[in-house]
Structures are given as C-alpha cells and as structure tokens.
Amino acid sequence: MAFCADFAALRPWQADVQVVTSDGSCIRAHSSVLAAESPVLDQMIVDARRRCDADCTTVRVLGAPSDAVVAFLRFLYSNNRRAAAAATGEWAEDAAGAHGAALLALAHAYRVPWLKRRAEAAVAARLTAERAVDALKLAALCDAPRLYVACARLAGKDLDAVERSEGWRFAGRHDTALQLGLLQLLHDAGQRKERWERERASQHVYRQLSDAMAFLDHIFAAGGPPSELRTEEASPCEDGAVRRGLEQLMRHFAECDVRTSRKPAACPRCRRAFQLLRLHASVCDRDGAGGEPCRVPLCSNLKVKMQEEGVDKTWRLLVKKVTRARVMSALASREVPEVVKKSWAKYSSSRAARSKHRRR
C-alpha cells in the first residue's frame, strides 16, 4: 500500500487515520479534522475504531480517483484553517476545475455542503455542450439544482450541439428517462416563456388603456365642447400616437353624422369611442358628491346605467386589470425617498459581500 499523500505535517499532533482510495493508495490524515468537516466521515471513523483497536484507524473513500480524494481532503483542511484557504486560492481554483465532478460527488456523499456548492459552481462554469448530458445526470444524482438548471439552459440555447454529443447517444441507449426528462423540461420552459410573453403583451395593452383614461381626463379638463379639445398642454400619456389618435377619435365621436342620423352602432369608430368612454366611467372615481365632477362626456350617465343594468364578468375583469395597471404605473413613477435608496444600497453591498465570502 503506497502513500500518495500525507497530511500529518499540517497539524502538530500525530495523524491517526489512514484514508484508503479505490486504487489502494493510502493517505495519512487527522480524525479531528475529518470529523469536524464531515458527519459521514465522523461516523465511519467511530465505526472503524469499534471494529479495530489499532492505533491508526483505516477509512475507505471509494468511487473516485486518488487525486480527487487528495484534493477533497485538502479542501477539508483548508476550510478548517481559514489562513490556509486564503493562501491556496489559486490551487483551489485549479483543483475545482480539474476534479469538479468528483469533488461534487464526494461532497454530496460525505455531506460537506460548502464544498458541494463550490464544486457545483466550478462544474457549471466549465459546462459545454459535449458535457451537458453527463453533468445533468450528475446533478440529478447529487441533488445539485443550480447545475441542473445550468445544463437545461445550455440545452435550451444549443440543443442541436447537445444531441450530437456522445453523452446524448449514450443516454439514448441506456437512460431514455434522462432524455425524455430534459426534452419535457425544455418543452415546459418554452410554454412558460410563451405564456410570459403573452402576459407581458397584455400588461402593455392594459397600461396603454390606463394612459388613455388619464388622457381623456386631460383633454376634457377645460370643460369646453369636444370640438375644442385642449392639445397645447403636455399629456400624461407618453405615446404621442395614442394621444393624437384619442383626440381625433373624440372629435369624430362629437361630429359624426352617421351616429347622429342613424343607429349608434353603424359607425365603427363611434363604437370604439363609446367603449373607451364606458371604460372611463367604470374606472373613474369622481362621483361629483362634494367634489369636482368628472368632465368627460357621458361619464355620470354611463355610471348610472351600468349600476342599473349591471355588467358581465369579462367587463369587470377588464376594469380590474386597467385599474391595477394605473396603480402600478403611479407607484413606479413616484420618486423613491432618499432613506429607501440608502437602505437598498447598504443591503445590496452587504449581500454582495456575503456572496463573495461564501465563494471563498
């Protein structure tokens, strides 16, 4: 049995544990360090001492190359000694890059969470399309959700390259469940993205309708006839095309000969104007009792009519979403107090410092 590494010199007391790897190599170490960093190694040492009364206890760490086991133990010693961890930062990065997958498996098996997070980040940082399937299987076995998500994102960006890899062909022959799981994950992600895009587009429409309601209040604020709408002041609506379209639509609604001489539903532009006025009456909070009445035409009449006749569920849902968009727009446009800005900056800096400390 050959000694491939010796950690006895790293502590002033004598090494009392021999770690045996898969190829028969032996590594001298200290039981106090291993037991402090890994509860699994602690229990293995206790069990080994119960079975054998020898001065030097033997613990077997199998399933990984000797170099990976040496790197694993060196990480345990470095974490136990903060100064050593800072001094071997470059070595740690090289070891995590060279033995990332093995370190992840060892850290998961022997329950070393800080090393598991570091190895997971190292494997994810060096992920390629050729290794994506192998890393995905490793992430599933070692309960590494961040690595699993990184593999899924890489497959979503370049699925063709992943399907040309040897790992994909091997999974097709021996682990079709892994392939189907990845394809189902990508399908769900695509559907979720489409749903988000539809929701984002609908929210944009609701914001435009909210801006249109605000502009209706603005253009009728003078109280004059609709043919003399105010256009000289700045509009709260950011979209100039919407502002001009509303002005033209209201002028048409006031002067349309088709609407006044025939049925009101005969003119499509008048129908659109009437729907906007009806929506404004639904979201308007000016009732005229003890306050300034709303100057938008037909607002009070439409309110009374809707209260008497009622509205359907679809219209109530539209009113609710437009009102919510108006409130969210007002909250987003307000100025953030200085004390909130300072608190948020302090929180962000402390959070970044904690993340940097954990990576070390």
157 shares a domain with 218: no
Show the tokens assigned to 193: 């993205």
Last residue of a domain, one of 136, 163, 192: 192
Rounded to the nearest 5 percent, the helix, strand and coil shares of the chain are 70, 5, 25
The C-alpha R_g of the chain, in whole angstroms, comes to 35
Distance CA 352, CA 29 (A): 35
CATH number at 25 reads: 3.30.710.10
206 shares a domain with 321: yes
- Residue 357 placed within a domain: no
Q: Is the dihedral of CA 159, 107, 145, 170 positive or negative?
A: positive
Decide if 29 contacts 73 (C-beta within 8 A).
yes
- Residue 247 placed within a domain: yes
Distance CA 212, CA 217 (A): 9
- Residue 344 placed within a domain: no
- Residue 231 placed within a domain: yes
Full domain range(s) for residue 311: 196-339
pLDDT tens for the chain, residues 1 to 360: 444 455 655 555 678 888 999 988 898 888 888 999 999 999 999 988 888 755 668 899 998 999 999 999 988 888 744 444 444 567 788 888 889 999 999 999 999 999 999 999 999 999 999 999 999 999 999 999 999 999 999 999 999 999 999 999 999 999 999 999 999 989 999 999 999 999 999 988 998 888 888 888 887 875 544 444 444 444 444 456 777 788 888 888 888 766 555 555 568 888 888 888 889 888 888 765 556 778 888 888 888 888 888 888 999 999 999 988 888 888 777 777 788 778 878 877 777 776 665 555
Enumerate the β-bridge partners of residue 57. Answer: 17
278 shares a domain with 160: no
CA angle 150, 156, 160 (to 5 degrees): 120
- Residue 350 placed within a domain: no
Distance CA 283, CA 294 (A): 12
172 shares a domain with 202: no
289 shares a domain with 207: yes
Last residue of a domain, one of 168, 192, 216: 192
Reduced 3-state DSSP string for 161-223:
HHHCCHHHHHHHHHCHHHHHHHHHHHHHHHHHHHHHHHHHHHHHHHHHHHHHHHHHHHHCCCC
225 shares a domain with 107: no
200 shares a domain with 172: no
Rounded to two decimals, the pTM is 0.64
Decide if 126 contacts 134 (C-beta within 8 A).
no
Last residue of a domain, one of 173, 192, 211: 192
Enumerate the β-bridge partners of residue 19. Answer: 27, 59
200 shares a domain with 188: no
296 shares a domain with 253: yes
- Residue 346 placed within a domain: no
108 shares a domain with 75: yes
Total domain count for the chain? 2
φ, ψ for residue 306 (rounded to 5)? Answer: -70, -35
| Per-residue confidence (pLDDT) for residue 356, from 0 to 100 | 61
Distance CA 201, CA 170 (A): 42
- Residue 182 placed within a domain: yes
Q: Coil, helix or strand for 3?
A: strand
Show the tokens assigned to 306: 């809707």
Decide if 70 contacts 98 (C-beta within 8 A).
no
Distance CA 69, CA 348 (A): 37
* Order of all β-strands in the sheet with 57-60: 3-6, 26-29, 17-20, 57-60
| Per-residue confidence (pLDDT) for residue 10, from 0 to 100 | 57
68 shares a domain with 7: yes
| 328-348 residues labelled b (16+ CB within 10 A) or e (exposed) | ebeeeeeeeeeeeeeeeeeee
301 shares a domain with 174: no
- Residue 134 placed within a domain: yes
